[in-house]
A and B are shown apart, each in its own frame.
Chain A
Amino acid sequence: MVTVLFFVAGALAIVSTALAVTRPNAVHALLYLIVAILSLSVLFYLLGAPFAAALEVIVYAGAIVVLLLFVVMMLNLSHQSVAEERTLLKPSIWIGPGILAAVLLGALIALLSNGAPAGGDSIEGPAAVGTALFRPYLVGVEIASFLLISGVVGAYHLGRRLKEPRP
């Protein structure tokens, strides 16, 4: 049971990632990327890492991909007029990610209704991860916070409007 779910999630991750890097429209590619991230999160859960699975959904699908999506929308990559904007709601646009997400949802429901615990060779819960993170890896956490601060400052600096346009 869990083995089947594992292979379904792995195949979904590979298929939707392959679609994400090959789609011509950036918004479609990002939708496929979200499906890939959700199936990767199922893989993490099945590998016995529930905390990492939750972080994958929250940070990757919830923050990073949404940031990418905002920039794609802001730059208006598809160069579509208002009349063509209507066609974005056609089923042919969302049917691919929809089918993949539905398969993933079926796998998740089967997993939860079965009451199956996280599989894998061993289960490392959030408590063990937190203890490891804030005892031996404390220096790493501080360096990661430096990285985030410099990322914020760098993004602000790079994203500002230049005084005169470049020739």
Chain B
Amino acid sequence: MSPQFSDYALVVAAVLFALGLFGVLARRNVVYVLISVEVMLNAAGLAFISAGSKLGQPDGQVMFIFILTLAAAEASVGLALVIQFYRAYKTLDTDSARELKD
């Protein structure tokens, strides 16, 4: 049994977070932005769990449960916003919502 699981898990968490950040920055569809935010929250949870595993504390899992709660609340409010966005603009392209800029 390898003792450095949590170190590799931190690397995986970093890669997942970078992928989520890429998704937020690169995609223009609102739904993909939400998916990427969920990926980033997941990566943060993995980092907490691996830190808790490394230190032998249950606190990492407690923080993961809080992140889970946050992700659920974020998903519900974000999806309500997506529905209103679609009703208002008939598209999901984020670039169409530039009324504040013009």
Residue from B31, B38, B69, B84 within 8 A of A148 (CB atoms): B69
Report if A154-B80 is in contact (Cβ < 8 Å); known contacts: A20-B39, A128-B58.
yes
Q: If A49-B61, A64-B71 touch, does A121 touch B3 (CB 8 Å cutoff)? A: yes
Q: Kindly identify which residue among A10, A75, A152 contacts B12, using a CB–CB cutoff of 8 Å.
A: A10
In the assembled complex, which residues on chain A have CB atoms less than 8 Å from the CB atom of B59?
Answer: 132, 137
> Which listed segment binds B: A32-40, A80-88, A90-98, A100-108?
A32-40
Interface of A, secondary structure class, is helix
Q: Which residues of A contact B72 (CB under 8 A)?
A: 59, 63-64, 148, 151
Count residues of chain B with CB under 8 A from any CB of chain A. 62
Within 8 A of B (CB), among A105-148: 119-122, 124, 128-129, 131-133, 137, 140, 144, 147-148
Kindly provide the distance from the CB of A23 to the nearest chain B CB, expressed in whole angstroms: 9
Residues of A within 8 A of B64 (CB): 49, 52, 55
**5 closest residue pairs by CB, A with B:** A151-B73, A21-B23, A158-B80, A122-B56, A159-B80
Binding site for B on A (CB under 8 A): 2-3, 6-7, 10, 13-14, 17-18, 20-22, 26, 29-30, 33, 36-37, 40, 43-44, 46-49, 51-52, 55-56, 59-60, 63-65, 67-68, 71-72, 74-75, 77, 119-122, 124, 128-129, 131-133, 137, 140, 144, 147-148, 150-152, 154-159, 161-162, 165-166
